[in-house]
Amino acid sequence: MELYEAIYKRRIVRDFTNKAVSDEVLEKIIDAALQAPTHDHLRNWEFVILKDKKDKEYALQFVKQGIEPTLEILKKTLINGTLQQKMYAVAMPRQYSMLYNAPFVILPFFKSNSGVMNPTSISSLNPVSSMWCAIENLFLAACAQGLACSMRIPVGEEGINVAKALNAPDNYLLACYIGLGYPSCDNSVEQIKYSAKEKMHFGKW
């Protein structure tokens, strides 16, 4: 697939078909992630991969605990609103299933430093920024393979709990959870459309 086609086709999805993804394709996608720019030239990123149901249940236990109390309220308040609210109404009830039902769950960890959680400038966040360059590469590579990704940001203590449960070193943080698989057809969430022209400011804002 051509690069621009992958960029325009890439979407976060939350429902997958049962079709399996091969280990070979998974490796290709992780390798694409590793080609991303990195602030310290070191690419301090590690990817924990979950395939077996038991492993997923274990690693995703904190997602389940975190979302259940909010689901009913979200379902009632967010239907029929703005496009953003509609997206939440689709997304929130699927935070667990969109990971658990994906053929692979990828957990990208990055090496942290004291500045990440107490930033004094944007550069304090370089480890996070670099990790997200890698994650976007991963999303685009998945799209180029005819696959798609779901994605959740760990909330509150979730990330720390997952890292501990999976024996990640203390200085590594979980950036997000990623589900990888073949998207089911009815996955489209309406987008707010922007044109490049309305976002460009020549000379001054």
> From the list 7, 74, 87, 116, which residue makes contact with ligand FMN (rule: CB under 6 A)?
87
DSSP readout, 100-115?
HTSSEEEEEEEE--HH
Q: How far is the CB of 49 from ligand FMN (least distance, A)?
A: 20
Question: Is 111 or 152 the residue whose CB approaches ligand FMN more closely?
Answer: 152
Distance (Å, rounded) from C-alpha 88 to C-alpha 189?
10
- Determine the 3-state secondary structure of 49 from DSSP: strand
Q: How far is the CB of 23 from ligand FMN (least distance, A)?
A: 26
Q: How far is the CB of 24 from ligand FMN (least distance, A)?
A: 26
Distance (Å, rounded) from C-alpha 106 to C-alpha 103?
10
Using rule CB under 6 A, residue 125 touches ligand FMN:
no
> From the list 151, 173, 174, 178, which residue makes contact with ligand FMN (rule: CB under 6 A)?
151
**Amino acid, res. 142:** A
Interface characters, 20-59, with ligand FMN (x: CB under 6 A)? ----------------------------------------
Q: Residue 161 has which token pair?
A: 């709990």
CB atoms within 10 A of CB 196: 6
Closest CA to 139 of 180, 109, 176: 180
Contact positions toward ligand FMN, by CB under 6 A?
11-12, 87, 91, 151-153
